[in-house]
Amino acid sequence: MATTFVKAAESVEQAARIEHVSKSFPGPGGQQLVLDDISLDVAPGEFVTLLGASGCGKSTLLNLVAGLDQPSAGSISTDGRPALMFQEHALFPWLTAGKNIELALKLGGVARGERRGRAEELLELVRLQGSYGKRVHELSGGMRQRVAMARALAQDSRLLLMDEPFAALDAITRDLLHDELTRIWAETGLSVLFVTHNVREAVRLAQRVVLLSSRPGRVAREWRVDIPQPRRIEDAPVAELSLEITEVLRGEIRRHGQH
Ligand SMILES: Nc1ncnc2c1ncn2[C@@H]1O[C@H](COP(=O)(O)OP(=O)(O)OP(=O)(O)O)[C@@H](O)[C@H]1O
Ligand SMILES: [Mg+2]
């Protein structure tokens, strides 16, 4: 009943292994079962999106994988400690973009003399070269999420957990960040577990889409997405599969009487 971060030296077959995980929270009428017997693996280098209606338990599951909370039953193991990125950038406003990244490098044990260069490299990776000295309030929403992505990458994890990181962005900025994330994923070989309630975003990004049902959250269905990258959110095959998934999602929502 715990999340285990497997050490780098040990060989692991999966980037994340979620086995029979359930999670309950105390509610007004006793324990409320939020996640029920979830089993899910993320393979090394795989990009998986976790899709589901609002309140179905996506963030709860991601937090369990991140080790921020413990499952009520079942177990989770990951290939090293994962990096986590949220909808809100959670950057320190009194630090510059560069210093926000350097702080993550410092916490990761990178030597002082190497931090500046590495931070510049990471800013270049997210196409923010030249923004090292900018303060958070000087950056647009999209730029802040780029810095947050660079900071997550600074943790040098093999698994990146993303909780609706682009949900607050306008459509064009979000499209651009989809392109950047797909490129970075291909360049780094990272494993990604990406949470969203946006079906098209899930299909645009993932190799595999896992749909969670609501109340309680269970794995309802999953789809393998064989559409070649780079995809566009408006591509016909993306739209077609999104429609199919939306129908199933609607059925799930109707069944649980949420709307
Ligand atoms: N710490 C907690 N204590 C009690 N209940 C909680 C706690 N965290 C989450 N919940 C409940 O668990 C359920 C799932 O919440 P969660 O935030 O995981 O959903 P979600 O799928 O991420 O939703 P959204 O798409 O709106 O972000 C909700 O009913 C929520 O109220
Ligand atoms: Mg959430």
Give all strands (DSSP E) within 1-139, no chain letters: 3-6, 16-27, 30-42, 47-51, 73-79, 83-85
Q: From ligand 2's centre to the CA of 63, what distance in Å?
A: 10
Same domain, yes or no: 171 and 230: yes
Q: From ligand 1's centre to the CA of 151, what distance in Å?
A: 25
Quote the pLDDT of residue 29. Answer: 86
| pLDDT above 90 coverage of the chain, percent | 86
Structurally, the chain folds into a number of domains equal to 2
Ligand 1 in reach of 34 Cβ (< 6 A):
yes
Quote the pLDDT of residue 13. Answer: 86
Ligand 1 in reach of 216 Cβ (< 6 A):
no
Domain ends where: 141, 156, 171?
Answer: 156
Ligand 1 in reach of 59 Cβ (< 6 A):
yes
Quick one: tokens of 110?
């990178």
Residue pointed to by tokens 């320190």:
92
Count Cβ atoms below 10 Å from residue 226 Cβ, excluding itself.
Answer: 8
Beta pairing partners, 48? 193, 208
Same domain, yes or no: 163 and 149: no
Q: From ligand 2's centre to the CA of 142, what distance in Å?
A: 20
Domain ends where: 135, 156, 177?
Answer: 156
Burial tier of 54 (Cβ tally within 10 Å: 0-12, 13-18, 19+): exposed
Domain ends where: 156, 178, 205?
Answer: 156
| pLDDT, tens digit, 9 for 90 and up, residues 145-172 | 999 999 999 998 999 999 999 999 999 9
Same domain, yes or no: 217 and 259: yes
User: Which residues make Cβ contacts (< 8 Å) with residue 212, sequence separation at least 6?
Assistant: 38, 50, 51, 52, 56, 57, 58, 61, 218, 219, 220
Ligand 1 in reach of 258 Cβ (< 6 A):
no
Which numbered atom of ligand 1 lies nearest the CA of 57? 18
Q: How far is CA 101 from CA 82, 191, 236, 246, in A?
A: 16, 21, 38, 37
Q: From ligand 2's centre to the CA of 229, what distance in Å?
A: 27
Helix (H) or strand (E) holding 238: helix 236-255
Per-residue pLDDT of the chain (259 residues; tens, 9 = 90+): 567 776 554 556 899 999 999 999 998 889 999 999 999 999 999 999 999 999 999 999 999 999 999 999 999 999 999 999 988 868 999 999 999 999 999 999 999 999 999 999 999 999 999 999 999 999 999 999 999 999 999 998 999 999 999 999 999 999 999 999 999 999 999 999 999 999 999 999 999 999 999 889 999 999 999 999 989 999 999 999 999 999 999 998 888 765 4
Q: From ligand 1's centre to the CA of 102, what distance in Å?
A: 32
| pLDDT, tens digit, 9 for 90 and up, residues 15-42 | 999 999 999 999 888 999 999 999 999 9
Ligand 1 in reach of 55 Cβ (< 6 A):
yes
Same domain, yes or no: 20 and 143: no
pTM (predicted TM-score): 0.93
Domain that holds residue 145: 90-156
Same domain, yes or no: 176 and 249: yes
Quote the pLDDT of residue 252. Answer: 86
- Inside any domain, residue 187: yes
Residue nearest to atom 31 of ligand 1 (CA): 55
Quote the pLDDT of residue 88. Answer: 80
Residue nearest to atom 24 of ligand 1 (CA): 54
What DSSP character marks residue 227? P
Which numbered atom of ligand 1 lies nearest the CA of 197? 25
Ligand 1 in reach of 97 Cβ (< 6 A):
no
Query: Which of 186, 189, 199, 98 has the alpha carbon at shortest distance from 150?
Result: 98
Ligand 1 in reach of 57 Cβ (< 6 A):
yes
- Inside any domain, residue 233: yes
3-state secondary structure of 46: coil
Beta pairing partners, 209? 49, 223
Helix (H) or strand (E) holding 188: helix 171-188
